[in-house]
Structure 1
């Protein structure tokens, strides 16, 4: 186990949950040294602009300023796509029209649909997909499942990315499978969404918070374990259902977790999610901390003569 005693809340992680960039470092290796120099340059830079807000990570922003020895740490998040610039199309093609997705959601009762998406990078193994779909099928809940196809690293492998035969037919009317890009921001904001099963990438975490949706956390790599610690253990807006990019979430365990979204416990988490959503919008409002930080950053850059 690796501890970080100096950081607020003293996070502890097993070695395998630390960044593979850190774990694979080889002293003297040109690539490793280049990456290390890049991280050190971040610390040595004049200042940092961060996509978060004080109501979410204030204690860590304060710690960062203290460690850096200056207050040039500007939290300006959450950064959101403009409402008038199609977040429906911005990520790529999808086999399901946005109009079909939202027409289906409109037929569902409030807070009854589970949205399942693991971001733009993760591709589930066939065993993971088999148990995930089986759990969704057995649970009886309504859901949207976003499935990412094989990437270049998986095209020659047969054990990744396949939806079990017949699954889509068996859940017709109760579940919607989206292959390719999903308009995640708009889906999460729909009143029918009651939970978000996520890999805890930072963009997804922020989008879930802004939408006021409590989460089921399945961190898989990179910063996602730290993000899950924040969401689950500190903010209490999520529950941890699985960990690791090769771990299989058994279908019966998923059924149990999905059963919680109708429990009193989930009502509490929904209330926390709504509170955090309000805090996020307050932060980017004209009197909010992020709005003021962005203004201060721009004024600082202008007065300091950077970029001139």
Structure 2
């Protein structure tokens, strides 16, 4: 059988924040550009199972999804090793598995697309004479910081980290210290070294894909791709191809959606902090009272809190052995039973955000969640907890104009019930300007992804380059 289509290999780290947009990218390469696509997912013994992965795969019959054999990183990490460092180490250790998997394919892929943590796979792309791209599953501002970091001298870094001065990124919004990306703060932490290394590696790829679109970040995208004399940040082409978000899946109705069916349009605020965010007991209590006193309907995906005095704890596990919400204030469930719904640990987020009854979202500002909110026309209360979420919150609040946030950082101080009540009432106000702004961006996102739109055309450039390479570099059985 002849290989009649260009074949793209995508490499994803196992976290949902990376995996979901990678899967959506694969789907678009198949449906819009006629590619064959294989998605390789790095795993450990504790990561995704095949069944869990299939649940996340859009139209599983479109994509060949391969779980790489698990890697054991236990000897390379300690109990204090951060999650981002663990991902970087795991992806490095998975490279021999990726090479073996590609060797076993009947036809070598034309192009390799990796997420941020897979930049070292560049050597494999070169070995097999493939085009190579990085897919940034966050936004263009984060990409600009990542590319800019390796160019900074010690004085500039010290002014930002030690003197808490804003970090200037050529042509882009400056990064305030309070909103900075945590890996840049400690030169002695391995993730600092890993992150700067990623920024260096990315500049050697054939291009960078980013999960945003022209209307959302036009100024930053212009700075990334502008003339060098104007302060161009990216030395390689940048392709905004978003927003790529998980599609709403048809299936059995959940109790949450049945409850939403009974609520008025735009009347419910959805509260969720993602798969990795956990609040302290004190912050959980304040949030409960704030939601109650706001007198607005709500759905709250609540997890047992960590018994700590800090405002938030991230990627930590509660020692509770049950799912009962007995950590909520006495009488809270009884008093709010007519206005609120408390859901334990997980809810179908995109289905909830797409429901007409939902009119606001208290979010940790993971980029997937932020995009899901925007494409469904839902304004946000930004509640960043970790990674680049503080950057996302700053951009969504100050530049994009679709969110509000608390006066103090939730990671540093407990946000009080009075401020929570005020923010909820504000964002749920039908006359609030953020509501109109996010509706405009919802329409803009739809246009960007449609045929002839800015993101569609941007991905077409990548597809065309890959098709050209396919014509001249005939895919052939490995070892021939």
Bin for the TM-score computed over the shorter chain: 0.7 to 0.9
Tell me the SS of whatever aligns to 1:163: coil
CA contact (8 A) 2:242 2:449 kept: yes
CA contact under 8 A between 1:125 and 1:246: conserved in structure 2? no
Cα pair 1:116 1:146 within 8 Å, conserved:
yes
Q: Which has the larger radius of gyration?
A: 2
Q: Is the 8 A contact 2:379 2:402 kept in 1?
A: yes
Taking the aligned partners of 1:264 and 1:31, their CA distance within structure 2 comes to 43
Kindly report which structure 2 residues correspond to 1:1-308, keeping only aligned pairs within 5 A, or say none: 1-8=164-171, 10-14=173-177, 17-26=179-188, 32-65=192-225, 66-70=232-236, 72-84=237-249, 98-149=253-304, 153-156=316-319, 162-241=327-406, 242-261=408-427, 263=429, 265-266=431-432, 268-305=433-470, 308=475
RMSD: 2.6
Gaps of 5+ in 2: 1-163, 226-231, 306-313, 476-480
Q: Is the 8 A contact 1:4 1:10 kept in 2?
A: no
CA offsets, 1:191-236, max 9 Å, x none? 1111111111111110110000111112223211211122111121
Structure 1 residue aligned with 2:123: none
Indicate the SS of the match to 1:40.
helix
1:152 is displaced (CA, Å) by: 7.0
Structure 1 residues 124 and 292, CA gap change in structure 2 (3 angstroms): same
Give the 3-state SS of the residue equivalent to 1:55 in structure 2. Answer: coil
Residues 251-271 of structure 1 show CA distances to partners (whole Å, capped at 9, x for unaligned) of 1111122222454651x2211
Runs of 4+ in structure 1 off by over 6 angstroms are: none
Summarize deviations over 1:19-61 as a string: whole Å, max 9, x none.
Answer: 22221222xx766534432232123322101111111112212
In the TM superposition, residue 246 of structure 1 has moved relative to its aligned partner by: 4.2
Contact map agreement 2:363 2:380 (CA 8 A) in 1: yes
Corresponding position of 2:63 = none
**Structure 1 unaligned residues grouped into runs of 5+:** 89-97
Of the structure 1 ranges 245-254 and 201-210, higher mean CA displacement relative to structure 2 is found in 245-254
Please state whether the residue corresponding to 2:359 is helix, strand or coil: strand
**Whole-Å Cα distance in 1 between the matches of residues 365 and 444 of structure 2?**
20
- Decide whether the 8 Å contact of 1:188 with 1:213 is kept in 2: yes
